[in-house]
Structure 1
Amino acid sequence: MQPVLANPELAPKRRQRRSVDPRLQRANFNPRNGSFTLPGRSTAVFVQPRRPD
């Protein structure tokens, strides 16, 4: 059974990618298995890019 979140294009929100907090910059998403990696005691926002209509 394939994970529900496998293969989408998810990325940290732009403001988060530019954060001065190096721990938060390590947050990421693995599209192969649908897993997120987050530093302890943090919150991260991931977004899916919009596709042109």
Structure 2
Amino acid sequence: MIILGIILIVVGYVAPVPSIIATIGWILLVVGLILTLLGAVGRPVGRKTYF
């Protein structure tokens, strides 16, 4: 999610319509960082079982 956010930010600033794509990229980057920090602290994120 973090890598996708970075890619969208770069594409957003290169593309002719940067506002929408770059904004989505920043949102994905922030959400990815928050999930990474919560996972590093040891707090379970998401479902415990997938089946």
Shorter-chain TM-score above 0.5: no
Normalising by structure 2, report the TM-score: 0.29
Q: Which of the pair is proportionally richer in helix?
A: 2
Structure with more relative contact order (C-alpha pairs < 8 Å, separation 6 or more): 1
Which of the pair has more CA radius of gyration?
2
